[in-house]
Amino acid sequence: MVCKNCEKNPVIKLTNNDVELCKLCFFKYFEKKVRRTISKYKLIEPKDHIIVAVSGGKDSMALLYVLNKLKKNIKITGMLLDEGIKDYRDGLRKNVIKYCKENKIPLKIYYFKKEFGKALDKMVPKGEKACNVCGVLRRYLLNKYARKLKATKLATGHNLDDECQSALMNQFRRNIKTSARLGPITGVQEDKRFIKRIKPLYFLLDEEALIYASLKDLPFRSFKYCACPYAVHSYRNSIKKMLNEFEEKYPGTKNNIINSFLEILPLLKKKYTGEIKSCRSCGEPCSGEICQTCNLVKKLKLK
């Protein structure tokens, strides 16, 4: 087969419509999808200061590249969180520092060890729900520092695969309230203490982000070959495997899950709108008296 638009050699076959695209047509397809998502869900407004959460993986590097390329009348700052995961984070951090320097993108780095007194490796024994701890602490730091930097939006590299996995995980664990916080632009209600999170890669597949980042020669590390050592133990990883098997057998499954989810999302947001309080211990916004981070800090005897 040849590229549907210009008959050159294809680099990808899109799963949904049996169409193949060459390198340049794929770049156009990818960037058009990002622009459409931004405009349909009003993710970015003029004069926004956007913090881009960068991990050094394909998604966040593709996101940083595209936003930097498309940026007009907005400010972009990268933010990297170093959890302290041996043989994993160091290399990624160096790549991000180099890339941001070469492309004149300001970068802020925060370390779990400095923020919470211990690196993630020392907080949880190997294989023991590290992702749950990591996820809570990451969300806390991203919001706290995005607000301190006076950002108006916090952009993450979550793609269609990530969102499908999150929606199913919440369904399987009967954790529907958490799903109300998903979507291309997150947040159940407005609160200036929460910086709105945006996901410009929302309608792009994992594989598409991988091919885009590879063909653009972005300095990412593929997690296929250099995965976080904790990922293999995670619940998400099991869901991911299951979803990939389904997509292989029934192409379009992931798109169908997301489109069905987006139909019910407004109902979830309406149902789960509630009062936002301030954590009695740290002052950060939360739904209860004490935020999840302060509960973890106490439980794991951090700081």
CB of 92 to ligand SF4, least distance (A): 10
Residue 244 near Zn ion by CB under 5 A: no
Residue 53 near ligand SF4 by CB under 6 A: no
Shortest CA distance to 62 belongs to which of 210, 161, 221, 184?
A: 210
Residue 279 interacts with, from Zn ion, ligand SF4, none (CB under 5-8 Å by kind): Zn ion
Residue 228 near ligand SF4 by CB under 6 A: yes
Question: Running DSSP on this structure, what letter comes out for residue 257?
Answer: H
CB of 284 to Zn ion, least distance (A): 5
- Residue 9 has a CB neighbour count (10 Å cut-off) of 10
Name the one range near ligand SF4 by CB under 6 A: 159-167, 229-237, 259-267, 292-300: 229-237
Residue 281 interacts with, from Zn ion, ligand SF4, none (CB under 5-8 Å by kind): Zn ion
Nearer to ligand SF4, 71 or 122 (CB): 122
228-251: burial string, b at 16+ Cβ within 10 Å, e else: bebeebbebeebbeebeeebeeee
Residue 14 interacts with, from ligand SF4, Zn ion, none (CB under 5-8 Å by kind): none
Shortest CA distance to 294 belongs to which of 118, 274, 175, 303?
A: 303
Residue 282 interacts with, from ligand SF4, Zn ion, none (CB under 5-8 Å by kind): Zn ion
Name the one range near ligand SF4 by CB under 6 A: 56-64, 107-115, 127-135, 199-207: 127-135
Residue 197 has φ and ψ, to the nearest 5°, of: -100, 135
Residue 54 near ligand SF4 by CB under 6 A: no
Residue 136 near Zn ion by CB under 5 A: no
Q: Which of residues 264-283 bind Zn ion (CB under 5 A)?
A: 279, 281-282
Sign of CA dihedral 69, 71, 72, 76: negative
Helical H segments across the chain, by residue range: 23-40, 58-70, 89-102, 112-116, 120-123, 130-148, 160-172, 176-179, 206-215, 235-249, 253-271, 292-299
**Residue 263 half-sphere exposure, CB side, CA atoms within 13 Å?**
5
Q: How many residues does the chain have?
A: 303
Q: Which of 135, 219, 251, 285 contacts ligand SF4 by CB under 6 A?
A: 135
Asked if residues 62 and 212 have their Cβ atoms less than 8 Å apart, the reply is yes
CB of 290 to Zn ion, least distance (A): 6
Nearer to Zn ion, 106 or 288 (CB): 288
Taking the C-alpha atoms of residue 25 and residue 284, their distance in angstroms, rounded to an integer, is 45
Sign of CA dihedral 165, 291, 116, 128: negative
Residue 131 near ligand SF4 by CB under 6 A: yes
CB of 205 to ligand SF4, least distance (A): 19
Residue 137 near Zn ion by CB under 5 A: no
Residue 80 near ligand SF4 by CB under 6 A: no
Write out the residues near Zn ion by the rule CB under 5 A.
279, 281-282, 284, 291, 294
Write out the residues near ligand SF4 by the rule CB under 6 A.
83, 130-131, 134-135, 228, 230-231, 234
